[in-house]
Amino acid sequence: MKSILDDFKSEQNSYKSDLHPAPYLKMGLITFAVLVGIVIFSFIPSGGVKIINGPGGSGPVQVSIAPGSSLTEIGKTLASAGVVNNYLEFVTAAADIPQSSAIGPGNYNLVKSMGSKEAIFALLDPESKVSIKVVIPEGSRSKYVFAAAAQALGVSVGDFESLAKNPTDLGLPEYANKNVEGFLYPATYRFDQGITPKEVLQQMIKRFIQAATEQQLEATAKANGLTPYEVLVIASIIEKEVAPVDQPKAARVVLNRLARPMRLQLDSTLNYELDSNAIILTSEQLQEDSPYNTYTNDGLPPGPISNPSEAALNAVLNPEDGDWLYWVTVNLDTKETKFASTNNEFLIHKQEFLRWYNQNK
């Protein structure tokens, strides 16, 4: 049976809005998609990482450093494994390298007969540590994060789905409404062997909290007349809709339309409900009865549609000034996006996109 990861390989943020204009003014935010790509996962087994060979390196060896080990204890472990000549040389070298204090517990792939300084830098290199690596691209949907992390850990996707349905112990902020979508921060993660699905989600959410704190999300959202959750929902939309360089403008468009008020009329929100990546939705799909259908419902969808980057959050908190009400990504290859303040301007940009689409798709 086809894996969910196979579906994700084709997931693109290639959304076009309002390609079927109604008699009344529609938004039709035609967009390209930032190619989210596949959630990358890999298990780095013993002997499977790049190791740093110092002078005299004479063969691979795996070393285990216990939690709470002092530099002296680490030196003795390395000397016992034949990585360094003696622990005193290691301790002396570590005294000259301030980063040595950052050496953490875990299993490391090294080589025997390394110089002490080379051993220190090898221990500080993430590639030397035996770990589980998961890369979450910006704009990934949570279900693909679950699938990738589950395969990397060798557990069931259902383990993650069950946690998401009852996320009380995951560390979500109160304003999350018990919804993990949007809070699984996109980044490269290296997890120690034996980590549990719960701990994986906790670390991802913790990383989101860190980014939100750095952005002063709650205070800045309030100053802008928004809730933190509304900021996250908008950030998740513009992450799917436009390139990072255009996100501050796109955020302004969404805010301008909400202030009018005008319906957002975004394909990206409806695609989320349909579990689709369609560039152009059908007339039937545009009538889908769903709270995520921003063609038929006022305001924002009920929750985030992706896990956005810190840049997208910042774009919503600090949108560019302007009176734009529309955008059109006129070239999906170059990601060129044009903004408009009037419906006539929008229609011109829309025709430019359709010409490109007919010639290239």
Domain boundaries, the chain: 4-38+217-360, 60-128
Report the distance separating Cα 210 and Cα 310, nearest Å. Answer: 10
Report the distance separating Cα 89 and Cα 124, nearest Å. Answer: 18
Neighbours of 348 (CB within 10 A): 14
Report the distance separating Cα 170 and Cα 15, nearest Å. Answer: 32
Residue 63's SS3 state is: strand
Place of tokens 């339309």: 257
Report the distance separating Cα 124 and Cα 361, nearest Å. Answer: 47
Q: Give me the average pLDDT of each 10-residue run along the chain (361 residues).
A: 44 43 40 40 40 57 93 96 94 95 92 93 92 93 96 96 96 97 96 94 98 97 98 98 98 98 96 93 94 98 98 98 97 94 97 95 80
Task: Match domain 60-128 to its CATH number in 3.40.640.10, 3.40.50.1820, 3.30.830.10, 3.30.1490.480.
Answer: 3.30.1490.480
pLDDT tens for each residue of 14-71: 444 443 333 333 444 544 433 333 444 444 443 333 434 444 457 899 999 999 999 9
The pTM of this model reads 0.79
